[in-house]
Amino acid sequence: MVGIPPGFIYIARQLHRLVRPLALAYTGLSIRTVLFEEPAPHWLRVSAYLFSIPIVAACSVLYTYLRDRREAARRGAALAPRVKSIWPGSLDIILSITQDFRDAHIGSPFDRYCEEYGPVVNVRIMFEDQILTTEPEHIKAVLSTQFNSFEKGLLLPMSTKVPFFIQQSQVRCSGTN
């Protein structure tokens, strides 16, 4: 039996991000209609629906940043320096990385960031923090002592308890390849 494609599952899980702002705009327009006893002008309705999603997204990004800053201050920590970006979503950084991948070796943009900002850098891509570290103690913690505390992404094969390259070497050593 064929299961549900993963794209539909992903969309279903993310649908609330689209529906909530639109529902908020609809509720606001309905309240306005009740208060003023006439429907909102067409331009206001169109604007409310069009801008509701970007405004809620911007508020969410700002809230996350302030929450992280507050949590770091509470713990007496400092946030990793963030790579400066000009365009929304760090599209300029994405284009720069893509260009550097074509013209130089694959790690050259990240080498440049580490030279400019230090051994721990926050490369914020598409409104998500991506922490890059070249500090040996941090890498050791990520790969060994605190492995399960870090996100691996969706494409990590087999188990998240043992790194992929260790799983492969175990398979080769046991002769079950």
Q: Which of 152, 174, 175, 176 is nearest to 164 (CA)?
A: 152
Question: What is the SS3 assignment for 11?
Answer: helix
Q: What is the mean pLDDT of residues 150-170?
A: 51
Report helix, strand or coil for 105.
coil
Q: Three-class SS of residue 121?
A: strand
Q: How far apart are the first and last CA of the chain?
A: 29
Average pLDDT, the chain: 82
Higher pLDDT, 119 or 172: 119
Convert 122-155 to b/e letters by CB count within 10 Å (16 or more is b).
bbbbeeeeeebbeeeeeeeeeeeeeeeeeeeeee
pLDDT tens-digit map of 6-46: 888 888 888 988 899 999 999 999 999 999 999 999 999 99
Residues in a beta bridge with 128? 125
Question: What is the structure's pLDDT at 155?
Answer: 52
Distance CA 35, CA 20 (A): 22
Q: Is the pLDDT of residue 164 over 50?
A: no
The pTM of the full predicted model, rounded to 2 decimals, is 0.66
Res 95: pLDDT: 87
Indicate if the pLDDT at residue 156 is higher than 60.
no
Residue 63 has pLDDT above 70, yes or no: yes
Q: What confidence score (pLDDT) does residue 154 get?
A: 59
3-class DSSP state of 65: helix
Burial track 86-115 (b if 16+ CB lie within 10 A, e otherwise): eeeebeebeeebeebeeeeeeeebbeebbe
Question: Measured between alpha carbons, how far is 144 from 153 in angstroms, rounded to an integer?
Answer: 17
Lowest mean pLDDT among 83-87, 114-118, 134-138, 165-169: 165-169
SS3 53: helix
What are the tokens at 2?
Answer: 């064929």
In tens, the pLDDT along 68-77 reads 999 999 999 9
Q: Where are the domains of the chain?
A: 1-77
- Range with the lowest mean pLDDT among 67-71, 82-86, 172-176? 172-176
User: What is the crossing angle of helices 6-36 and 42-75, to 10°?
Assistant: 120
Q: Are 125 and 93 in contact (CB under 8 A)?
A: yes
Q: For residue 116, what pLDDT is reported? A: 92
Q: Per-residue pLDDT tens for 116-152?
A: 999 999 988 888 888 888 888 988 888 888 877 777 6
